[in-house]
Amino acid sequence: MAYTVTPTPAGPVGSQYCVCKVELSICGQNLLDRDVTSKSDPFCVLFMEVNGKWVELDRTETAVNNLNPAFAKKFIIDYHFEEVQKLKFALFDQDKSSTQLYEHDFLGEFSCTLGTIVSSKKITRALLLGNGKPAGKGMITIAAQELSDNRVITLSMAGRKLDKKDLFGKSDPFLEFYKPGDDGKWMLVHRTEVIKYTLDPVWKPFTVPLVSLCDGDMEKLIKVVCYDYDSDGGHDFIGEFQTSVARLCEAQDASPLELECINPKKQKKKKNYKNSGIIIVKSCKITRDFSFLDYILGGCQLMFTVGIDFTASNGNPQEPSSLHYINPLGTNEYLSAIWAVGQIIQDYDSDKMFPALGFGAQLPPDWKVSHEFAINFNPRNPFCSGVEGIVQAYSACLPHIRFYGPTNFSPIINHVARFAAQATQQETASQYFILLIITDGVISDMDETRHAVVQASKLPMSIIIVGVGNADFAAMEFLDGDSRVLHSHTGEEAVRDIVQFVPFRNFRNVPKETLAKAVLAELPQQVVQYFKHQNLPPINSEPA
């Protein structure tokens, strides 16, 4: 691939599903010495692959006379879980002031996906020359960190003896919270609900991001204003005070914080004015609202299993009309789906060993129907090495099985659920299971499948179903709980939506990356939702 050099850093590359920004820190070790009289003066250039070409995103500063540089300049990249983001880190020895890279001596490079870096948090790898040989003993270390303040503040507020503002009744108080804007004016951050007919209101607890309330600065002044609600919008001012989050944090459940609500006009007019009531901070808690990337950087592994439909409705794999027919290009819709999903998820599994199971076929030697068999015919070790291993095992098993039926999903769902249930015993956010089922048609065991999905919704597990061919996939849409909550045949509700269904036919004439985006778009949210529901923080998380 050719280098495409853009002198200014390119804008964010990727889709609308961006989870967050990642900061990459770069260090070099034992770099090649290209200077005769002194040591190399290295700098690092970051490239991203866009449409088959390497596009320069950014450069570090130059480290003068240093073969073991730690660069101060960080690379900041938009992170997209559902895309393969290929990166290249190239090191050069600065010889001239030119921005053209060919003017500088090449010290080596390293390529990988952003997924590989974030799933390891920190990697050290050998640098390679253009011919693929090692660049001496040169190494590069890349460390990833999420760039976001994920702290949230939960406040529980009340009032006591607030000023009476209504002629024929008590006040209808509510609070507004403000922070200083860049223009020096107060900017509204949050408004509580209105509590009717009382001078002693108790508002519902509320949660806002700490960044929203005070830009993440606990010492920054914030303003709290109390109003009496009027339906015509002309709310009456009761009083206000200024404080900081650090001060609010002094409130504990046992000892609430009391702040005087002051009306400056009344204060000026009346000599004996004390206040217009008391605002009580009953409790103030700061916690972390963890993201998908927090869990991945914390060491959570995504455990990937494939389930493949070998029922007779797929057609004879020897004939071009069959959905299992491997065309002269070496692919079919089953293989396309395996590649699209697998090549993304494999970055998040350290050993890259994936169980691949089949269902709906008769197996040698006794030709009994199986709805849960290892496609490598090794039931004790159904693992395939990487996506390539799944593809090889799939191609190798086709001539040795007889396509049959029926189309039963529940055995494979229950198979993965057993492993997910074992993972829950660790009581840490260390593993999340993903089952990709590729099928050509109507589910035969719908009641059992619904029951299996509802039970699996309580586990660290998600199910992706890709429908191949042109069959009626109404039952699959039913399992995908985007529009309604899924119930089992006994009436039990799914705890959360864990099924994502897409028909492959919608993606036949679009770039292969589009399928991956569609099927994986909901996964980060499902992972976070499960671990939050279980009150499990990322393994290596810091307290708020």
CATH dotted code for 296-441+458-470+483-534: 3.40.50.410
Q: Is the model's pLDDT at 2 over the cut of 80?
A: no
Structure tokens at 459: 């586990």
- Could you tell me which residues come within 8 angstroms of residue 224 by beta carbon, excluding any fewer than 6 positions away? 175, 176, 177, 178, 240, 241, 242, 243, 259, 279
What average pLDDT does the segment 381-388 reach?
Answer: 96
What's the pLDDT at 540? 77
Would you place residue 19 in the very low, low, confident or very high pLDDT band (cuts 50, 70, 90)? low
- Could you tell me which residues come within 8 angstroms of residue 196 by beta carbon, excluding any fewer than 6 positions away? 172
Give bridge partners of residue 87 from the DSSP assignment. 48, 112
Would you place residue 6 in the very low, low, confident or very high pLDDT band (cuts 50, 70, 90)? very low
What average pLDDT does the segment 474-494 reach?
Answer: 82
pLDDT in tens, 196-248: 999 999 999 999 999 889 989 999 999 999 999 988 788 999 999 999 999 99
CA nearest neighbour of 206 among 195, 218, 193? 193
Name the residue ranges covered by the structural domains of the chain.
20-147, 151-288, 296-441+458-470+483-534
Q: For residue 352, how many other CB atoms are within 10 A of its CB?
A: 18
Q: Is the model's pLDDT at 14 over the cut of 50?
A: no
What's the pLDDT at 336? 92
CATH dotted code for 20-147: 2.60.40.150
What average pLDDT does the segment 481-485 reach?
Answer: 73
pLDDT in tens, 140-152: 999 998 888 889 9
pLDDT over 90, % of the chain: 77
Would you place residue 271 in the very low, low, confident or very high pLDDT band (cuts 50, 70, 90)? confident
Would you place residue 254 in the very low, low, confident or very high pLDDT band (cuts 50, 70, 90)? confident
pLDDT in tens, 277-325: 999 999 999 998 899 999 999 999 999 999 999 999 999 999 999 999 9
DSSP string of 490-528, one letter each residue = TSPBPSS--EEEEEGGGGTTS-HHHHHHHHHTTHHHHHH
Q: Measured between alpha carbons, how far is 492 from 309 in angstroms, rounded to an integer?
A: 27
Q: Is the model's pLDDT at 509 over the cut of 90?
A: no
What average pLDDT does the segment 85-99 reach?
Answer: 92
Q: Measured between alpha carbons, how far is 312 from 306 in angstroms, rounded to an integer?
A: 19
- What single-letter amino acid sits at 287? T
Structure tokens at 522: 């909901």
Q: Is the model's pLDDT at 101 over the cut of 70?
A: yes
Q: Measured between alpha carbons, how far is 167 from 184 in angstroms, rounded to an integer?
A: 36
Q: Is the model's pLDDT at 165 over the cut of 90?
A: no
Q: Is the model's pLDDT at 132 over the cut of 60?
A: yes
Q: 135-139, 509-513, 518-522 — which is least confidently predicted?
A: 509-513
pLDDT in tens, 31-47: 999 877 888 999 999 99
Peptide bond just before 365 cis, omega within 30 deg: yes
CA nearest neighbour of 468 among 359, 314, 268, 347? 314
20-147 shares its CATH topology with 151-288: yes
**Residue 13 contacts residue 49 (beta carbons within 8 Å):** no
Q: Is the model's pLDDT at 426 over the cut of 90?
A: no
| CATH 3.40.630.10 applies to domain 151-288 | no
Would you place residue 510 in the very low, low, confident or very high pLDDT band (cuts 50, 70, 90)? confident
What's the pLDDT at 175? 97
> How high does pLDDT run on average in the chain?
91
What average pLDDT does the segment 174-201 reach?
Answer: 92
Q: Is the model's pLDDT at 8 over the cut of 80?
A: no
Q: Is the model's pLDDT at 17 over the cut of 90?
A: no
**Residue 214 contacts residue 151 (beta carbons within 8 Å):** no
Q: 198-202, 372-376, 438-442, 479-483 — which is least confidently predicted?
A: 479-483
What's the pLDDT at 458? 97
